[in-house]
Amino acid sequence: DGGITQSPKYLFRKEGQNVTLSCEQNLNHDAMYWYRQDPGQGLRLIYYSQIVNDFQKGDIAEGYSVSREKKESFPLTVTSAQKNPTAFYLCASSMRTGDTGELFFGEGSRLTVL
């Protein structure tokens, strides 16, 4: 089945460690996104990529890094510079334009920094 796979689903790390969250899609979508969600909050855009080898910062990019070497993959690294990394991270993909701009989301990765 086509979809978006995020891993790991749950992740615990010590403060000061870098963490990489995986996101893979087989929908043949050009665009991919990373959102952060805190309890009771909306989704805030961290980074997005419209095409391979290109990506742009979203609203809260500080302390995060991404790469887009392949169309299918858009990993997110949460660095030690991120002051409050504990959150629910959602990856999404979409057609580059499309009629509705629909985003297809993965099941999320819940990161807890101890």
Partner 1 sequence: GQSLEQPSEVTAVEGAIVQINCTYQTSGFYGLSWYQQHDGGAPTFLSYNALDGLEETGRFSSFLSRSDSYGYLLLQELQMKDSASYFCAVRTLNYGGATNKLIFGTGTLLAVQP
Residues that bind partner 1 (CB under 8 A): 31, 33, 35, 40-45, 48, 50, 58, 88, 90, 94-108, 110
Our CA dihedral for 85, 6, 68, 112, rounded to 10 degrees, sits at 10
Nearest approach, Cβ of 94 to partner 1 (angstroms)? 4
> CA–CA separation, 6 vs 21, rounded Å?
7
> CA–CA separation, 58 vs 66, rounded Å?
11
Between 17 and 98, CB nearer to partner 1: 98
Please tell me whether residue 59 adopts helix, strand or coil conformation. coil
Between 1 and 102, CB nearer to partner 1: 102
Nearest approach, Cβ of 30 to partner 1 (angstroms)? 9
Nearest approach, Cβ of 97 to partner 1 (angstroms)? 6
